[in-house]
Structure 1
Amino acid sequence: MMRKVLALAVICLPVLAVGLVLLTADLPDPLPSHWNARGKADRTMGLTAFTVLNLAVTAGATAAAFGFARVESARWSITACAFAAYLMGSLAVLTAFVAGGFGDRAGTDLPWLGLLIALVVAFAGPALVRLLWPVPVRSDDAEPDADLPRLDLAPGERAVYVTEIRSRGFAALAISCAVIGLILVLAVDAFIGICVLAVTVAGAVLQRATLRVDANGLRVVFGPGVRINIPLAEIRQAGVEQINPMQWGGWGYRVTPGKRGLILRSGPGLVLDLTNNTRFAITLDTPEPPAALLNTLLTPH
């Protein structure tokens, strides 16, 4: 428990540093936000927009880390949150330091040594968090479930399962981000608005998917031709579980050590135990039929 507390305390440092520097320092408006290959500032951002963006990212990453902290096997996700917070935080502090100048002399040239230090901090912080976070105890010797769902198919009978999966949450996210992004582009800051609009694309891609189960295995299609194919030969068994997004790395298409999945919400889902000792999950309203079909195809009578 103490190691988790220390790790979470380390994750909080970037948002505290960003808040302290950006809210208390006497900084110019606007601030440099981009440098060319020669280290010369070629783009600026308003101080308010810069502060809101950096505080939002570092605070969001910190909040996500605290959310993942309740999950036993969230070491990878905790480290990813720490990296996002430390990378954004270190670059924000470096920018404030450059814009504030050295002593009474303000400057905009990018100090390469400062950039190197910021990158070292961005990687060292998450490395310390990963070192502190307890390694989950995994058991790869679990016996197959005795009561797996199955279909009663006649000899020679074939079956195919096809369904469309829709996510109201991702659809609402896409619409909301589109509206907010346009407002930000027109009224606040184009860069922040474009960043928010980028989330619209992710929401639109993930708001609908198609699942097909047949003698070839499992296939999921979503977005502009994105396909997930799992051959039947790579599946050991299929089951039904209650999906907690935090245990799979969050919402969306998630890949974490030992498991991956298309997680569109919490609730029931189809979970495959694969022959390479990894797991795949997809959230479904009625996961029993595809699970039963896969188990029947795996062990036909």
Structure 2
Amino acid sequence: MAAWAAGILALLVVVPLAARRGFDDLLATHWNAFGEPNGSLPLWAVVLVPVAVWIVLVAGAVFLRAARRWRGAVLVSCGVLLAGEQVAIVRANLDHADWRDADSVTLWVVVTVVAAGAAGLVGMLVSGRPASPVSPGQGPKMDIPAGERRVWLARTENPWLYALSAVAGVVALAALLVGLGDLARPMWLLIVPFLFVSMTVSACSSVRVRVAERGMDVAFGPLGWPVRRWDAADIEWARAENRTPAQVGGWGYRLSGLGTTVMLRSGECLVIRARGKNFAVSVDDAERGAALLNSLAGARTELP
């Protein structure tokens, strides 16, 4: 889903900016019942409005605990709808010096609405039912000789998320360069959201996990920040599980019926139960990390 979100975002920006020499600064954006244009917006608004709507939709899908099948259907359907409308507006205004001469968009809008409805249905079917929470259970343990200290380290990266972060960064840079030619254009309204997307996706592109005597640290992104920490005494249990993006609702930092999952690749994940909540991160050798965590947590709870 991260690739879909970034792809729609890039299309909403690139299509009007790439064709900007084919029309005036004002573009027709509203048509009457007879297919005649009767409303217009400047180019920057044509880009910014659907981008803002899309960012709000994606943010809601990531942070709200809605049912996963409805969340996927809404994102797929709205993505097709916004992209289709953007292409229709650019196509209708292309090669017209005055927005009042823009072509009709009736046929294109009808096709877009039908395609959005079909895409939403497909998204719902593909998403399937939300995953059920995993019941608590006792994980493996590691024998630690007296007086010995052990540390477990793991790191995972997702090159595709790095690429999506780079694409958003390039769009922000392109908007900056375009704005330098005419300071009257509020291109910063494009720079800020795309820069934010680039930094956010970059932070979810890699993860470093450290298990030591004090507990577990999970550091995000190439700079190792932000960091989430759990004390060993707060961890009820830890274990290794195999999970897929389909189970948790996509890539990156996900909230689902399974709890919080940092999904960077399919397969083995380290899962912990702490402070009444589940947290999972996709890393290799997760069983060894879980065994060390269970031993450390048990040792802390046994202390007088």
- CA distances 1:11-70 after superposition (whole Å, capped 9, x unpaired): xxxxxxxxxx868672544x27xxxxxxxxxxx7354x3686478x39x86xx98xx9xx
The two structures have a TM-score, normalised by structure 2, of 0.53
Residue pair 1:185, 1:194 contacting (<8 A) in 2 also? no
Aligned residues: percent identity? 25
Q: Residue 292 of structure 2 aligns with which residue?
A: 293
1:253 deviation in Å?
2.8
Q: Residue 37 of structure 2 aligns with which residue?
A: 26
1:271 deviation in Å?
0.8
Equivalent of residue 200 in structure 2, options 189, 199, 202:
202
Residue pair 1:182, 1:193 contacting (<8 A) in 2 also? yes
Letter in 2 for 1:244: T
1:281 deviation in Å?
0.5
- CA distances 1:182-212 after superposition (whole Å, capped 9, x unpaired): 3345459833454333221113323333211
Partners of 1:27 and 1:186 lie apart in 2 by 32
- 2:154 is aligned with 1:163: yes
Residue pair 1:74, 1:249 contacting (<8 A) in 2 also? no
Q: Residue 173 of structure 2 aligns with which residue?
A: 182
Q: Residue 122 of structure 1 aligns with which residue?
A: none
Partners of 1:280 and 1:273 lie apart in 2 by 7
Partners of 1:160 and 1:181 lie apart in 2 by 40
Q: Residue 98 of structure 2 aligns with which residue?
A: none
Residue pair 2:30, 2:39 contacting (<8 A) in 1 also? no
Give the SS at the match of 2:230.
strand
Q: Residue 252 of structure 1 aligns with which residue?
A: 252
Residue pair 1:173, 1:203 contacting (<8 A) in 2 also? yes
With CA pairs under 8 Å and 6+ residues apart, which has the higher RCO, 1 or 2?
A: 2
> Cα gap change, 1:274/1:184 in structure 2, threshold over 3 Å: closer, same or farther?
same
Residue pair 2:68, 2:256 contacting (<8 A) in 1 also? yes
Give the SS at the match of 2:37.
coil
Residue pair 2:131, 2:247 contacting (<8 A) in 1 also? no
Residue pair 2:154, 2:208 contacting (<8 A) in 1 also? yes
Partners of 1:207 and 1:45 lie apart in 2 by 30
Letter in 2 for 1:297: L
Q: Residue 239 of structure 2 aligns with which residue?
A: 239
Alignment RMSD: 4.6
Give the SS at the match of 1:156.
coil
Gaps of 5+ in 2: 1-28, 90-127, 180-184
Gaps of 5+ in 1: 1-20, 33-43, 97-133
Letter in 2 for 1:287: A
Partners of 2:209 and 2:232 lie apart in 1 by 14
- CA distances 1:215-257 after superposition (whole Å, capped 9, x unpaired): 2211112256422111222222211112223433433333457
Q: Residue 149 of structure 1 aligns with which residue?
A: 140
The two structures have a TM-score, normalised by structure 1, of 0.54
Where does 1:49-64 land on structure 2 (aligned, <5 Å)?
49=47, 53=51, 57=54
Partners of 1:51 and 1:271 lie apart in 2 by 40
Q: Residue 214 of structure 1 aligns with which residue?
A: 212
> Cα gap change, 1:198/1:156 in structure 2, threshold over 3 Å: closer, same or farther?
same
